[in-house]
Amino acid sequence: MSTAYDLARDFLRENDPARLDPLDFLRARFDAGLAWVQYPPGLGGLGLPRAEQPAVDQVFEAAGAPGNNPRRIGIGLGMAAPTILRHGTDEQRRRWLRPLWTGEEVWCQLFSEPGAGSDLAGLATRAVRDGDGWVVDGQKVWTSMAHEARWAILIARTDPAVPKHRGLTYFVLDMTAPGIDVRPLRQITGEAEFNEVFITGVRIPDSHRLGEVGDGWAVAQTTLMNERVSIGGQAVPREGSTIGIVAGLWRERPELRSPGLHDALLRLWVEAEAARLTGVRLRQQLAAGQPGPEGSASKLVFARLNQEISALELDLLGEEGLRHDEWVMRRPAMVDFAGRAAGYRYLRAKGNSIEGGTSEILRNIVAERVLGLPPEQRADKDVAWKDLPK
């Protein structure tokens, strides 16, 4: 059998990206199995090893082929797609994976709530069975892309009479359905990249349920493990992240240098390179199966490094680095660290230790599931959710 690289070259000979409409090109690429080669045939893949995907991407990039803007649809690509692939029905996979990958349909994540962030299993959003569907009421918060999303991955409580982890069910929610109210949350940067979402009497057909009733926590683990890999284990070249911005500043502005800052830059450069190489190893392990708790360690390191590196950039620039003149409440479609001012990077990096799992929770995961330390005592483990103090 030809390699994915050869198949990509053959595809380009028959599908000229300069002549085809970008969306038609992306659809054809998906149908040819060259979207994510590790997925099954018919679902954008060829059933080949994940390791062949970078060569395919390089062939398309060299040909000037249109991309699917992965930063804009990152929640769909990194979280929804692997969950749908693993837990969805054949019909669900056929319906959602293609427009997700082509970028025709944007996804968001409805997990966290005002009273259930770090303790996600304590969430209160209810889904009540009603005929051949469910009626959902509740509130979600810190929802990226909710203002642009067509679909959402949602966890709701379907049985309050059992312990909190066992009474959850996982759904796909139509964000255009009546009863959904998306409101902006203004951040320290002045922007409203996140949202709070109010869900009032929204009906979800049972055909939009992923996994069995009551198995929502297990399904959500697939999402969360993939989320942490997608945040902390992204493929970047050397100096391809924020450390490259600061290293470039050091080279271009010699008047900013001092011995103490030089030592700090060297330390962070080495740590960033170690984290990058660890990410390479993590993706190699991912190619062999489902992501494990190691992704939590990568995301934990990513958050700390991004905050320390952005702080070093401000130390280098002094008062110049404190300027932040973009206080307009924009509604950005994506986070852009590279194309913004130093003040923005410093402020936005503060959220890195909260989003995608707080650093405190990730330390618990690493301690228990990677290092094998005794688990934290949980007094509410066997108590019905309805009997827990609210």
The CA-atom distances, in angstroms, between 148 and each of 61, 129, 320 are 27, 28, 35
- Give catalytic status of residue 376 as yes or no: no
* The predicted structure's pLDDT at residue 114: 93
Question: What's the CATH number of domain 107-213, 1.25.40.10, 3.30.2270.10, 2.40.110.10, 3.90.1300.10?
Answer: 2.40.110.10
Buried residues in 264-299 as b, exposed as e (16+ CB within 10 A): bbeebbebbeebbebbeebbeebeeeebebbbbbbb
* For the chain, counts of helices (H) and of strands (E): 12, 8
> 43 Cβ partners below 8 Å, 6+ apart?
85, 93, 94, 97
Q: Domain locations in the chain?
A: 4-73+80-102, 107-213, 233-370
* The predicted structure's pLDDT at residue 5: 93
Average pLDDT over residues 78-104: 97
> Is-above-0.95 flag for pTM?
no
* The predicted structure's pLDDT at residue 290: 57
> 321 Cβ partners below 8 Å, 6+ apart?
313, 314, 315, 342, 343, 346
Predicted confidence (pLDDT) per residue in 117-143, tens digit: 888 999 999 999 999 999 999 999 999
- Mean predicted lDDT score pLDDT of the chain: 90
* The predicted structure's pLDDT at residue 171: 98
Q: Which fold has domain 233-370?
A: Butyryl-CoA Dehydrogenase, subunit A; domain 3 (1.20.140)
Percent of the chain scoring above 70 in pLDDT = 93
Lowest mean pLDDT of 16-25, 328-337, 346-355, name the range: 328-337
What CATH architecture does domain 4-73+80-102 belong to?
A: Orthogonal Bundle (1.10)
Check whether 55 has a pLDDT greater than 70: yes
* The predicted structure's pLDDT at residue 309: 96
CA distance 206 to 156: 13
Q: In this structure, are residues 36 and 53 in contact, taking their beta carbons and an 8 Å threshold? A: yes
CA distance 7 to 4: 5
Longest dimension (CA), the chain: 71
Indicate the pLDDT class of residue 292, thresholds 50, 70 and 90.
Answer: low
Lowest mean pLDDT of 191-200, 229-238, 348-357, name the range: 229-238
CA atoms within 13 A on the CB side of 23: 6
Q: Which one is catalytic: 52, 113, 191, 227?
A: 227
Check whether 145 has a pLDDT greater than 70: yes
Buried residues in 49-86 as b, exposed as e (16+ CB within 10 A): ebebbeebbebbeeeebbebeeeebbbbbbbbbbbbbe
* The predicted structure's pLDDT at residue 308: 97
DSSP state for residue 236 in the 8-state scheme? -
Lowest mean pLDDT of 94-108, 209-223, 314-328, 360-374, name the range: 314-328
